[in-house]
């Protein structure tokens, strides 16, 4: 009875599948693919085992039906494969596998003789049956292999070596069995299995090929239904074959359970058919389509990546939902900048892809052991004390742990406590290495605003006095303070250090401390020598009362405190307003609260100030202070993404400005430049400290060249030529020869990153190279950037004569460990996309001169189009007319086209174009004095006018508004989103910390 | 050749049928009026540009030439918006490009179609695909594409053999038609050009209207009050029926019987309205200030003073106190200054703004002197009671404050009396850079403001400097009037004045040269630029 019922259901499901195939029209074009003769032969060779499997499968279905009826949920069905997989590590199943493999050769001779007879009676119908179980068996094998891999991470290195030796798909089988054998510890069995596994894999390859043609299988199934009576005939013959193949009693008993296990998995697959025929069809299609794709992309890494993707997907489900919800909330709250916020989040992953190419399998497997070998070397070179080594390792572990936390939007309470413990350990460990004393950090309650610091000790508060007449603030700084906003500080007495810069007396320094980065800290430093009282108290008395000054004097301790005068940064008003208008996040603060310790002072300064617990400010490892700088130093700072290159760069500048009044910053980062605009490289003479992001100072470079894109792959040659010319310009100018150079590089460390680095080193000829290593392997170069390694690089991309490397010079290599602290959960930080956007906002705010509040209020400069050269930096497919129309209401680079590549002087916004008069009207975002040099406009890359500037026109606008529409919120009008999924293993997360 | 002709003939036959079917489907799918909308920035300038491109792509008379025009336009769109160009537009361009090469008889047309097909599907699926890894079949289903498109895409991307050219050709025709109905038609039917007024958000427009209505009543009532009309009967004689009805309705709702009471009620409503919206609206202050400067009588009252300035000051003091309590005094002052310097504004408005800015400066000076005296007293007497300058915004003034007022040398009857913001006390002094900006925009309208700013400079000018600069301003003002009578160019006047001031201030390094050489560039002097949106020419409206 049960058998008949199952058969009926099978018929119905296959009929439904057939109907859908006919409806889709795929059956017709694939018919010609059926005739190939080779698959038939191999299919026929499997006839002998078919009857047994069919009968066993039928029995299994009957057994499985009862639990299905009792538990009508998918969970029960899903658990069964897991239970089978769990049993794999046991010794008995592995032994059974061995014997199964051993019996294969014996069957073949007997089967051959019986095949001849079978062909005559029912060749076609028998061949139709065979592919079904094999297809399932292939799917069954995959999860087993992946599961076995997981607990044996330490053996991956040795196993990967075997993989290299074999060099084909069958090696995975070897690896799979090798693990099993190693568990048993028998060498002889290994060789036997290898011999057999080669045969097995070649057979399975054939089935993989066959499974690609789905209709072929369907067609054969169809024939089976038409010749239903013959199934029983085959069934009758089954026992006869078994009798002729009787094995020893022990082996025979073990053989049956193996079949049961294999068929059991298959049964689970087939049961799914009866739950929903449509679902089954979709599922099959997905599986069949997915595997070839993986094999094409990853080769023999197929199963590993499949598992990883699955895990990543399961965790990503929750994450992406949360992200989407938060994005949606943001869109509702600040709809003026919807697209920018949304685009910012989406294209953040694009930044990862633009700098990190998927590594070769060889490199991927080699990296962990090489990294492990390097770590002791690095520690030995930098630190001599063993305790420091241990602490350093802890830092790395905690960093990795935090990375895991990043991937989870929701963490169970236990894990949160673990994270807290790790964070505390991190703080303790870093104590001896941080220059400024560090306090213990506690996780803050979620209801406290992100910038508040409720743990401040009242007895150590600094003293702030607010002027009655002016908007100045006089302060005695007794502790480390951190700043959120922008202000101008003048040191009057004592000593302070601001992000490494020792302020001079009576020197006004400007601080920019935006949200999303480390706060800028103001730290009083001890002075050994008694300092004379040089404060001009009479001058201060004009703005402050005598009582206020007396309070300042009494609280000031000469050797430990500092007296500073603070002003609001009024020159940055346009910049702050621009950020407030076009940035979703409050990058600069809205000073509303009056319940803070320095509330009145904060109101005057329009900047938040609080005592610092060192958790959100720049943490300087001791090794940074050991980097020496000379007048002829040429220091390259290199490293992957997010290792702290910019922080180190600013610190070196700030710390050495006392010794060298000016130094040259050569910025070769096209994605997140420090001073100038994205998609360019530049050099700038720095004679003032960078207390915050450099681009907020809106400084003008000495030389700059437009490269054309933020993705190095799309402008590799343009970038190299630009660098070569820029370096030549610098080297030919005598005024740069006797000042130190600091070279900022991009974080492109995979792909041809090391090849590019070799080219840079050859042309720049540095004296020092600082390589910062990240705890995440993907964010590191594949090798140490020493002279020997770079000399052996054989160029692939830069193979032209103009990029030939003459000789890698001698330089001192400094290998540092990344000092970037773990980011707090839920804390917003400036992504690469946000950084570029902020850079553009800062530049465009310089357009607003006089009383202008928006671009439309600015008076434009006119020019005849015929007097301009108009270029696209990376493409020659655009006509001049297209470029002209493309720059309408857009951002363009303003350049001078002299000898060599065009020199970029700044950017501007094309206000409008008069096509009849052939005139262009521009609002420049650079000093007007240099406009006389501009004779060339460059348009291209990712740079375009932020949408907020088009949506929020000036108050006085009364005309029609082009380029802006109110449309239905549908997906059809969305732009291309490049979202990349990366498995945790790819990002360097240890196996035991994956989800 | 015969086979090719047959295929083309069949393609032509099929396309009209598909078009009809698609058109039938589009009609019932019209979106309901309550669908959510959002403001988007597009690469195309206006509906004409979009519709023209649509016609070039899908018009009945389209040819390879029109397709090339459309592709060129799409390239321009990519230049304008970079990676934000709509995916459907890019998908259309890759398919059309393949068709063009097909018609030109390319030998590698199969590869071209395969590449176009892969890019087409990748582009369109990206707008559906999120961080959830969903099946391509599900994505196609959500897009409304047939599932065999996914199969073809896989074959084009990964297959050892490419599909036949005929299959690719027919399917790309199908996909182009799908793009037309999925993207181009709905947008063409719903898109319309925007005017500046429609660009603002609804809540901002609502707030602006509420403020405008209140201030309109304030303006009307202010005029009546200053002209001596106190009760509704007297007001009705001065105002037209429409204006009177507005006042009457408002006064009855507030139970206000006199013009003074109406003014107070308006200020109360204003305070509540701003307080309600201040936490959620970013540019509330800009809207608020803009509405304030739209009060016609308020701006013009300074031009009609005839021995009743004390009445004007008394009547408007409440408004300025409200601004002080709200913390908007500085911003409103800045707006008045900018209005007086704006050459695009009418003379009457500029003079009115100049008057009120001058009056505010008098109060700023008064406060400055009061605080200076208070500081001097504190230096002499530490036990002096603390003074809260915010109390000047109320009618209850302490003895200390009253004494400071009396000694501030201000004529209290014609001086606005307001103080600091209660929570954010801030001295109303101005940077030298701010003053230099006023020098750059020197005119007869802004000259009184410049003179009033000199004592409030930070860091302060010396007494001698202030006297000299004041004389200089007066002299320049006289010369300005004389030269204006002689009809000479005012820019040279400004330059001359600028040179003298710069020489005296010894800030030559910070000077801004209006007449410096900018190479091929020159400053456009058309005065209507602020009225034009980005991309619009003043003379092209």
B133 touches chain A (CB under 8 A): yes
> Domain check: are A688 and A717 in the same one?
yes
Helices and strands: H and E segment counts in chain A: 30, 24
| CATH code at position A956 | 2.40.30.330
Which tens digits make up the pLDDT trace of A871-914?
Answer: 888 887 889 889 998 988 998 999 988 888 898 999 999 989 99
Helix B165-179, helix B109-126: angle, nearest 10: 30
Smallest Cα distance from B100 to chain A, Å: 16
Radius of gyration of chain A (CA): 35
Residue A9: per-residue pLDDT? 64
Under the banding of pLDDT at 50, 70 and 90, the label for residue A143 is very low
Which tens digits make up the pLDDT trace of A437-454?
Answer: 333 333 333 344 555 555
Within 8 A of B458 by CB-CB distance, chain A residues are 470-471
Nearest to A468 among B338, B374, B521 (CB): B374
> Domain check: are A520 and A479 in the same one?
yes
Residue B501: per-residue pLDDT? 54
Query: What is the C-alpha to C-alpha distance for residues B19 and B25, in angstroms, rounded to an integer?
Result: 10
Quickly list DSSP for A521-539.
Answer: EEEE---SSPPP----HHH
- B526 and A860 in contact (C-beta within 8 Å)? no
Q: Are B425 and A603 within 8 A, CB to CB?
A: yes
Residue B422: per-residue pLDDT? 76
Which tens digits make up the pLDDT trace of A819-867?
Answer: 877 756 577 888 887 888 999 899 899 888 777 878 888 878 898 988 8
Q: Which residue of A lies nearest to B334 if distances are taken between CA atoms? A: A851
| CATH code at position A670 | 3.40.50.300
> Domain check: are A559 and A519 in the same one?
yes
Smallest Cα distance from A884 to chain B, Å: 9
Under the banding of pLDDT at 50, 70 and 90, the label for residue A917 is confident
> Domain check: are A881 and A902 in the same one?
yes
A424 touches chain B (CB under 8 A): no
- Is there a domain that residue A205 lies in? no
Neighbours of B342 (CB within 10 A): 20
Q: Are B425 and A594 within 8 A, CB to CB?
A: no
- Is there a domain that residue A607 lies in? yes
CA angle A300, A303, A308 (to 5 degrees): 120
A407 touches chain B (CB under 8 A): no
What single-letter DSSP state applies at residue A421?
H
Residue B81: per-residue pLDDT? 77
Domain span at residue A643 reads 624-817
Alpha carbon of A143 to those of A199, A306, A626: distances in Å?
21, 9, 52
Site from B34, B35, B41, B509 to mutate, A interface, most A CB atoms within 10 angstroms: B41
Smallest Cα distance from A321 to chain B, Å: 8
Long-range CB contacts (within 8 A, 24+) of A319-327: A319/A407, A319/A408, A319/A409, A319/B131, A320/B130, A320/B131, A320/B132, A322/A409, A322/A410, A323/A409, A323/B131, A324/B130, A324/B131
Q: What part of B 217-276 touches A (C-beta under 8 Å)?
A: none
> Domain check: are A748 and A709 in the same one?
yes
Nearest to A967 among B190, B374, B533 (CB): B190
Q: Are A959 and B186 within 8 A, CB to CB?
A: no
> Domain check: are A906 and A858 in the same one?
yes
Query: What is the C-alpha to C-alpha distance for residues A162 and A63, in angstroms, rounded to an integer?
Result: 41
B430 touches chain A (CB under 8 A): no
Residue A754: per-residue pLDDT? 84
Query: What is the C-alpha to C-alpha distance for residues A153 and A159, in angstroms, rounded to an integer?
Result: 10
| CATH code at position A529 | 2.60.120.1030
Query: What is the C-alpha to C-alpha distance for residues B247 and B245, in angstroms, rounded to an integer?
Result: 5
Q: Which H or E run contains A718?
A: helix A716-731
Residue A502 has pLDDT above 80, yes or no: no
SS3 state at A360: coil
Under the banding of pLDDT at 50, 70 and 90, the label for residue A372 is very low
Q: What part of A 903-922 touches B (C-beta under 8 Å)?
A: 909, 911-912, 914, 921-922
Smallest Cα distance from A659 to chain B, Å: 28
Query: What is the C-alpha to C-alpha distance for residues B484 and A924, in angstroms, rounded to an integer?
Result: 32
> Domain check: are A485 and A599 in the same one?
yes
- B132 and A310 in contact (C-beta within 8 Å)? no
Q: Are A882 and B76 within 8 A, CB to CB?
A: yes
Site from A294, A542, A962 to mutate, B interface, most B CB atoms within 10 angstroms: A962
SS3 state at B336: helix
A329 touches chain B (CB under 8 A): no
Give chain B's residues under pLDDT 70.
1-36, 38, 129, 131-133, 198, 200-202, 279-280, 282, 304-307, 385, 423-424, 426, 476, 478-517, 541
Q: Are B519 and A862 within 8 A, CB to CB?
A: no
Which tens digits make up the pLDDT trace of A576-591?
Answer: 888 887 888 788 887 7
**N- to C-terminal Cα distance for chain A?**
45
A643 annotated among ligand-binding-site residues: yes
Residue B430: per-residue pLDDT? 83
B382 touches chain A (CB under 8 A): yes
Under the banding of pLDDT at 50, 70 and 90, the label for residue A325 is very low
**Residue A485: which region, alpha, beta or left (left: phi > 0; alpha: psi -120 to 50)?**
left
- Is there a domain that residue A313 lies in? no
> Domain check: are A604 and A632 in the same one?
no
Residue A735 has pLDDT above 70, yes or no: yes
Q: Are A890 and B79 within 8 A, CB to CB?
A: yes
- Is there a domain that residue A851 lies in? yes
Within 8 A of A208 by CB-CB distance, chain B residues are none
Smallest Cα distance from A954 to chain B, Å: 7
> Domain check: are A686 and A753 in the same one?
yes
B515 touches chain A (CB under 8 A): no
Q: Are A469 and B375 within 8 A, CB to CB?
A: yes
- Is there a domain that residue A746 lies in? yes
Within 8 A of B126 by CB-CB distance, chain A residues are 976-979
What single-letter DSSP state applies at residue A859?
P
Within 8 A of A931 by CB-CB distance, chain B residues are 518-519, 521
> Domain check: are A648 and A587 in the same one?
no
Within 8 A of B516 by CB-CB distance, chain A residues are 928-929
A878, A884, A885, A889 alpha-carbon torsion, rounded to 10°: 130
What single-letter DSSP state applies at residue A648?
H
A641 annotated among ligand-binding-site residues: yes
A373 touches chain B (CB under 8 A): no
Chain A to chain B Cβ contacts (< 8 Å): 337
Q: Please state the φ and ψ torsions of residue A522, each to the nearest 5 degrees.
A: -115, 115
Burial group, residue B186, by CB count within 10 angstroms (0-12, 13-18, 19+)? buried
> Domain check: are A475 and A510 in the same one?
yes
Q: Are B147 and A316 within 8 A, CB to CB?
A: no
Q: Which range, of A178-187, A322-331, B155-164, averages the lowest pLDDT?
A: A322-331
Residue A704: per-residue pLDDT? 94
Under the banding of pLDDT at 50, 70 and 90, the label for residue A225 is very low
A963 touches chain B (CB under 8 A): yes
- Is there a domain that residue A581 lies in? yes
Q: Are A863 and B132 within 8 A, CB to CB?
A: no
Closest to A156 (Cα-Cα) out of A982, A986, A991, A781 = A991
Which tens digits make up the pLDDT trace of A940-970?
Answer: 887 788 888 887 787 678 888 888 888 777 7
User: What percent of chain A has a predicted confidence (pLDDT) above 90?
Assistant: 10
SS3 state at A886: helix
Q: Are A339 and B41 within 8 A, CB to CB?
A: yes
Helix A249-275, helix A74-86: angle, nearest 10: 150
Q: Are B41 and A864 within 8 A, CB to CB?
A: no
- The distance between the two most distant Cα atoms of chain A, rounded to a whole number of Å, is 118
Query: What is the C-alpha to C-alpha distance for residues A144 and A85, in angstroms, rounded to an integer?
Result: 6
Residue A984 has pLDDT above 80, yes or no: no
A151 touches chain B (CB under 8 A): no
> Domain check: are A742 and A657 in the same one?
yes
Instruction: Give the domain-ending residue among A817, A832, A858.
Output: A817
Closest to A506 (Cα-Cα) out of A567, A565, A562 = A565
A791 annotated among ligand-binding-site residues: no
Query: What is the C-alpha to C-alpha distance for residues B13 and B8, in angstroms, rounded to an integer?
Result: 9
Q: Which residue of B lies nearest to A603 if distances are taken between CA atoms? A: B424
- Is there a domain that residue A685 lies in? yes
A289 touches chain B (CB under 8 A): yes
- B160 and B121 in contact (C-beta within 8 Å)? no
Burial group, residue B7, by CB count within 10 angstroms (0-12, 13-18, 19+)? middle
Residue A281: asked if its preceding bond is cis (omega within 30°), the reply is no
Nearest to A912 among B84, B424, B536 (CB): B536
Beta pairing partners, A493:
A563
Q: Which residue of A lies nearest to B192 if distances are taken between CA atoms? A: A965
Query: What is the C-alpha to C-alpha distance for residues A133 and A124, in angstroms, rounded to an integer?
Result: 17
Q: Are A979 and B379 within 8 A, CB to CB?
A: no
Q: What part of A 730-769 touches B (C-beta under 8 Å)?
A: none
Closest to A492 (Cα-Cα) out of A479, A511, A467, A473 = A473
- Is there a domain that residue A278 lies in? no
User: Per the structure, how many domains does chain A have?
Assistant: 3
Q: CB-side exposure of B205: number of CA atoms within 13 Å?
A: 7
A900 annotated among ligand-binding-site residues: no
Instruction: Give the domain-ending residue among A772, A796, A817.
Output: A817
Identify which has the larger pLDDT, B290 or A280.
Answer: B290
Closest to A312 (Cα-Cα) out of A782, A975, A977, A979 = A979
What single-letter DSSP state applies at residue A519?
B
Instruction: Give the domain-ending residue among A611, A641, A657.
Output: A611
Within 8 A of B441 by CB-CB distance, chain A residues are 850-851
Helix A50-70, helix A131-149: angle, nearest 10: 70
A639 annotated among ligand-binding-site residues: yes
Q: Are B44 and A963 within 8 A, CB to CB?
A: yes
Which tens digits make up the pLDDT trace of A625-684?
Answer: 878 788 889 899 999 978 898 999 889 999 798 889 899 999 999 998 989 999 999 999
- Exposure letters A771-781 (e unless 16+ CB within 10 A, then b): bbbbbbbbbbb
């Amino acid at each position: 009875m049960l058998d008949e019922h199952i058969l009926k259901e099978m018929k119905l499901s296959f009929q439904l599948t057939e109907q859908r195939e006919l409806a889709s029209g795929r059956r017709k074009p694939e018919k010609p693919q059926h005739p190939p003769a080779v698959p038939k032969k191999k299919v026929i060779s499997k006839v002998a085992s078919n009857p047994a499997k069919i009968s066993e499968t039928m029995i299994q279905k009957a057994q499985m039906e009862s639990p299905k009826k009792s538990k009508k949920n998918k969970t029960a069905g899903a658990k069964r494969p897991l239970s089978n997989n769990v049993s794999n590590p046991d010794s008995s199943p592995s032994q059974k596998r061995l014997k199964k493999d051993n019996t294969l050769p014996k069957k073949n001779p007997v089967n051959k003789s019986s095949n001849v007879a079978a062909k005559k009676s029912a060749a076609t119908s028998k061949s139709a049956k065979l592919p079904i179980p094999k297809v399932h068996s292939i799917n069954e094998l995959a999860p087993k292999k992946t599961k076995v891999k997981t607990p044996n991470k330490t053996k991956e290195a040795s196993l990967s070596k075997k993989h290299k030796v074999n060099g084909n798909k069958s090696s995975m089988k070897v690896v799979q069995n090798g693990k099993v054998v190693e568990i048993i510890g028998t060498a002889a069995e290994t060789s036997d299995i290898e011999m057999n596994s080669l045969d097995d894999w070649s057979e399975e390859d054939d089935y993989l090929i066959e499974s690609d043609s789905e209709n072929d299988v369907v067609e054969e199934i169809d024939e089976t239904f038409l010749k239903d009576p013959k199934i029983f005939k085959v069934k009758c013959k089954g026992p006869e074959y078994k009798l002729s193949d009787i094995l020893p009693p022990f082996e025979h008993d073990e053989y049956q359970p193996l079949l049961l296990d294999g068929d059991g998995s298959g049964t689970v697959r087939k049961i799914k058919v009866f739950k929903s025929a449509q679902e089954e069809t979709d599922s099959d299609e997905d599986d069949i389509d997915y595997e070839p794709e993986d094999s094409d992309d990853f080769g023999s890494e197929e199963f590993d990546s499949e598992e990883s993707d699955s895990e990543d997907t399961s965790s990503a489900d929750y994450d992406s939902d949360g992200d989407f919800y938060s994005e949606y909330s943001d869109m509702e709250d600040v709809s003026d900048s919807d697209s920018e916020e949304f685009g910012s989040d989406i294209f953040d992953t694009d930044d990862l892809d633009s700098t990190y190419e998927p590594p070769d399998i060889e490199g991927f497997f080699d990296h962990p052991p090489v990294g492990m070998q390097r770590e002791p070397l690095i520690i030995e070179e930098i630190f001599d004390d063993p305790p420091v080594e241990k602490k350093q390792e802890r830092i790395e572990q905690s960093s990795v742990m935090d990375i895991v936390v990043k991937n989870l939007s929701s963490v169970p309470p236990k894990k949160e406590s673990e994270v807290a413990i790790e964070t505390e350990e991190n703080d303790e460990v870093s104590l001896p290495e941080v220059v400024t004393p560090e306090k213990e950090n506690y996780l803050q309650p979620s209801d406290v605003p992100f910038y508040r610091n409720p743990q401040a000790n009242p007895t150590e508060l600094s003293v702030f006095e607010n002027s009655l007449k002016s908007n100045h603030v006089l302060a005695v700084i007794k502790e480390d303070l951190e700043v959120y906003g922008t202000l101008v500080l003048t040191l009057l007495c004592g000593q302070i250090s601001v992000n490494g810069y020792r302020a001079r007396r009576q020197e006004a320094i400007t601080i920019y401390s935006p949200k999303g980065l480390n706060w800028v800290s103001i730290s009083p430093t001890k002075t050994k020598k008694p300092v004379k009282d040089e404060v001009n108290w009479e001058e201060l008395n004009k703005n402050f009362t005598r009582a206020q000054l007396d309070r300042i004097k009494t609280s000031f301790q000469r050797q430990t405190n500092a007296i500073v005068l603070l002003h609001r940064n009024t020159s940055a008003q346009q910049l702050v307003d621009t950020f407030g208008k076009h940035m979703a996040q409050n990058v600069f603060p809205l000073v509303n609260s009056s319940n803070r310790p320095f509330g009145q002072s904060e109101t005057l300064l329009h900047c938040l100030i609080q005592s610092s617990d060192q958790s959100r400010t720049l943490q300087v490892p001791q090794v940074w202070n050991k980097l020496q700088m000379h007048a002829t130093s040429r220091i390259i700072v290199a490293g992957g993404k997010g290792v702290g290159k910019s922080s180190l760069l600013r610190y070196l500048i700030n710390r050495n400005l006392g010794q060298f009044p000016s130094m040259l910053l050569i910025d070769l980062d096209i994605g997140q430049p420090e001073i100038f605009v994205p998609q360019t490289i530049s050099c700038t003479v720095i004679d003032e400290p960078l207390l915050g992001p450099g681009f907020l100072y809106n400084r003008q470079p000495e030389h700059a060249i437009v490269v054309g894109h933020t993705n190095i792959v799309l402008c590799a040659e343009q970038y190299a030529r630009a660098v070569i010319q820029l370096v030549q310009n610098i080297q030919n100018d005598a005024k740069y020869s006797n000042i130190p150079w600091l070279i900022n590089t991009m974080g492109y460390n995979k792909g041809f990153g090391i090849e590019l680095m070799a080219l840079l080193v050859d042309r720049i000829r540095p004296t020092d190279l600082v390589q910062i290593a990240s705890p995440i392997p993907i964010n590191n170069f594949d090798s140490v950037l020493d002279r020997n390694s770079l000399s052996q690089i054989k160029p692939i991309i830069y193979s032209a004569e103009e990029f030939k490397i003459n000789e890698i010079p001698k330089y001192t290599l400094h290998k540092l460990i990344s000092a970037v602290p773990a980011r707090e959960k839920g804390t917003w930080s400036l992504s690469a996309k946000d950084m570029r956007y902020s850079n553009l906002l800062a530049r465009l705010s310089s357009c607003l001169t006089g009383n202008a509040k928006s671009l439309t209020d600015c008076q434009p400069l006119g020019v005849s189009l015929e007097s301009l050269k108009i270029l696209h930096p990376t493409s020659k497919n655009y006509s001049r007319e297209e470029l002209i129309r493309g720059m309408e209401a857009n951002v363009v680079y303003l350049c001078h086209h002299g000898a060599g590549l065009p020199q970029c002087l700044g950017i501007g916004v094309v206000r409008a174009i008069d096509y009849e008069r052939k005139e262009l009207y521009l609002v420049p975002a650079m000093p007007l004095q240099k406009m006389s040099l501009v004779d060339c406009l460059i348009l291209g890359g990712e740079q375009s006018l932020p949408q907020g500037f088009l949506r929020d026109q000036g108050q006085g606008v009364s005309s029609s508004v082009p380029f802006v529409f109110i449309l239905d919120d549908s997906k059809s009008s969305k732009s291309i989103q490049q979202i990349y999924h990366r498995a945790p293993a790819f990002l360097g997360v240890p196996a035991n910390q994956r989800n | 050749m015969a086979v090719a002709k047959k295929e083309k003939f069949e393609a032509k036959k099929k396309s009209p049928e598909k078009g009809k079917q698609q058109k039938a489907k589009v009609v019932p799918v019209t979106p309901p009026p309550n669908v959510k909308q959002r403001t988007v920035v597009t690469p195309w300038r206006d509906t004409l540009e979009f519709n023209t491109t649509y016609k070039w792509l899908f018009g009945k008379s389209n040819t390879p030439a029109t397709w090339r025009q459309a592709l060129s336009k799409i390239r321009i769109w990519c230049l304008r918006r970079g990676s934000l160009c709509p995916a459907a537009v890019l998908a259309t361009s890759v398919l059309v490009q393949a068709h063009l090469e097909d018609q030109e008889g390319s030998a590698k047309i199969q590869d071209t179609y395969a590449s176009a097909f892969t890019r087409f599907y990748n582009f369109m699926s990206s707008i559906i695909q999120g961080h959830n890894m969903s099946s391509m079949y599900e994505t196609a289903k959500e897009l409304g594409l047939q599932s065999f498109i996914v199969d073809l895409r896989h074959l084009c991307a990964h297959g050892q053999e490419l599909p036949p050219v005929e299959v690719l050709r027919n399917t790309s025709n199908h996909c182009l038609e799908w793009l037309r109905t999925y993207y181009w038609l709905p947008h063409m039917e719903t898109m319309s050009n925007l005017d500046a007024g429609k660009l603002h958000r609804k809540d901002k427009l609502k707030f602006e209207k509420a403020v405008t209505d209140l201030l309109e009543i304030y303006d009307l009532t202010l005029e009546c009050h200053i002209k001596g009309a106190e009760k509704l009967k007297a007001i009705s004689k001065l105002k037209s029926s429409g204006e009177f009805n507005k006042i009457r309705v408002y006064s009855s709702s507030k139970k206000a019987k006199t013009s003074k009471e109406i003014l107070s009620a308006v200020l109360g409503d204003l305070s509540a309205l701003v307080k309600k919206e201040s936490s959620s609206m970013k540019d509330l202050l800009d809207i608020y200030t803009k509405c304030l400067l739209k009060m016609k009588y308020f701006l013009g009252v300074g031009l009609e003073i005839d021995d009743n300035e004390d009445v004007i000051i008394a009547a408007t003091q409440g408004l300025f106190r409200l601004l002080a309590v709200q913390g908007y005094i500085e911003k409103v002052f800045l707006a008045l200054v900018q209005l007086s310097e704006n050459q695009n504004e009418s003379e009457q408005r500029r003079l009115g703004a100049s008057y009120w800015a001058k009056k505010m400066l008098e109060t700023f000076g008064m406060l400055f002197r009061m605080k200076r005296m208070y500081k001097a007293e504190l230096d002499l007497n530490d036990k002096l009671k603390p003074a809260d300058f915010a109390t000047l915004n109320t009618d209850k003034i302490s003895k200390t404050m009253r004494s400071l007022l009396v000694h501030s040398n201000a004529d209290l009857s014609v001086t606005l009396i307001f103080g600091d913001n209660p929570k954010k006390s801030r001295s109303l002094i101005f940077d030298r850079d701010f003053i230099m900006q006023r020098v750059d925009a020197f005119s007869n309208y802004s000259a009184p403001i410049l003179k009033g700013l000199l004592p409030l400079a930070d860091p302060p000018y010396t007494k001698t400097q202030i006297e000299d600069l004041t004389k200089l301003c007066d002299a320049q003002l006289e010369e300005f009037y004389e030269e204006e009578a002689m009809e000479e160019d005012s820019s040279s006047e400004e330059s001359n004045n600028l040179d003298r001031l710069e020489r005296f201030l010894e800030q030559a390094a910070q000077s801004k040269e209006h007449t410096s050489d900018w190479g091929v560039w020159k400053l456009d002097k058309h005065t209507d630029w602020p009225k034009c949106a980005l991309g619009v020419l003043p003379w092209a409206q």
